[in-house]
Amino acid sequence: MADHTRDWRADLVTAYPDLFDPTASDPPAARGWPWVEKGWRDLLERACVRIRAALEAEGGTFHATQIKEKFGTLRFYWEGTLSPRASARVEEAVDLAEARSAVTCEICGEPGVLHGDRWVTTRCSKHAEGRRPIETDPDDGIYVFERVVGTRREVRHRRYDRETDSFIDVDLPGDEET
């Protein structure tokens, strides 16, 4: 069995015990143990910094429940009791991490794109392992942002900008606030 106590993931979950609640003797037993490769360490750390800042500012409880790769990108599941403001900040942090995973090689952390056919991964050309880049539609990079605050429903379209690690609003016909 691999020695997970010397793993980068053990360092991450023990650096953020408030988010992962690991046991010292067995960090991989933490529910949010990230089952992803090291190239995504940085984007997970960015998410943890943002989530901790949101909790410190807004209060509430948070627990990472599952972090994994699916269809080539990150899935970050959590549960908690948060105010709408805190929840919005946490969701934003998770959205940014998931969007970044779609443009970051899971092996080395360099810029990457989706590769493969039946087994899809996000890789740089060096770590593509023979899989071909997937032709993507320009619309694939557009994320639908939807929030309900009180009775107000907000729908926006955004594109992830890797350079600034932020979302940029894209105006599409039909975007409006109701």
Instruction: Tell me which residues touch Zn ion (CB under 5 A).
Output: 105, 107-108, 110, 124, 127
Q: Least separation, in Å, of the C-beta of 123 and Zn ion?
A: 6
Q: Output the CA torsion 138→139→141→144 (10° steps).
A: 160
| 47 or 107: CB nearest Zn ion | 107
SS3 of residue 76 by DSSP? strand
Using alpha carbons, list the distances in angstroms from residue 38 to 60, 105, 170: 29, 9, 31
* d(C-alpha 12, C-alpha 20), whole Å: 9
| 81 or 125: CB nearest Zn ion | 125
Q: Least separation, in Å, of the C-beta of 108 and Zn ion?
A: 3
Counts of helices then strands in the chain (DSSP H, E): 4, 8
| 34 or 112: CB nearest Zn ion | 112
Q: Least separation, in Å, of the C-beta of 38 and Zn ion?
A: 10
Distant-in-sequence, close-in-space partners of 152: CB < 8 Å, separation ≥ 6: 177, 178
| 108 or 155: CB nearest Zn ion | 108
Q: Least separation, in Å, of the C-beta of 124 and Zn ion?
A: 3
